[in-house]
Amino acid sequence: MAVPVAGDNEKKFKPLFEEKIGKDILKGKAVYKSANVSISADNNFSINNKHYLIEIDSGNMAKLLVGQYTLLSKLYSGLPENAHFLIIHTYNNYNVQRTLNNLKLVKKACNLRLSFSAMHIDTLENWEGGSLVQFIGLASK
């Protein structure tokens, strides 16, 4: 059996999201640049004046996600208070709290203002579906 790669999980997320929440919400990859540095999020959407940057994590990558969060916090083109970094883990049996603990530490230590949350894709798969606001609540538990 083939081991899924990052692109496979990103492709899996979009139809699952559309099935559970709706179509024409996700806006695709978001890229932020400054001089010779750039960082991206796999997908994004906006609601109620809040911009959600979604990263699909296919591995056991809490440390890399902290670096991505830090760069997004610094390079995001809008007000960090109006954005949120949402991580969707796909690695089997991944403990989401590990990522949250790392992000909390860096946010506090570096005085970053970008909010964040993390969830496992299994949570989305097992959810009956609903509105975008309900999804945000699910992702913030």
- Residue 61 confidence (pLDDT): 74
133/130 Cα distance (integer angstroms): 8
- Domain with 51, as residue range(s), is 6-92+106-139
Provide the CATH number for the domain around residue 19: 3.40.1350
The mean per-residue pLDDT over the stretch 90-117 comes to 92
Give how far Cα 125 sits from Cα of 19, 35, 84, 122, 139, Å: 10, 39, 22, 5, 12
Confidence of residue 26 (pLDDT cuts 50, 70, 90): very high
In a domain, 1, yes or no: no
Does 77 have pLDDT greater than 90? Answer: no
In a domain, 100, yes or no: no
Q: Is the pTM for the entire model greater than 0.85? A: yes
Number of domains into which the chain is organized? 1
In a domain, 124, yes or no: yes
In a domain, 71, yes or no: yes
Q: Is 86 helix (H, G, I), strand (E, B) or coil?
A: strand
In a domain, 98, yes or no: no
Does 4 have pLDDT greater than 60? Answer: no
Does 1 have pLDDT greater than 50? Answer: no
CA proximity to 77, closest of 125, 123, 13, 31: 31
In a domain, 101, yes or no: no
In a domain, 99, yes or no: no
Confidence of residue 70 (pLDDT cuts 50, 70, 90): very high
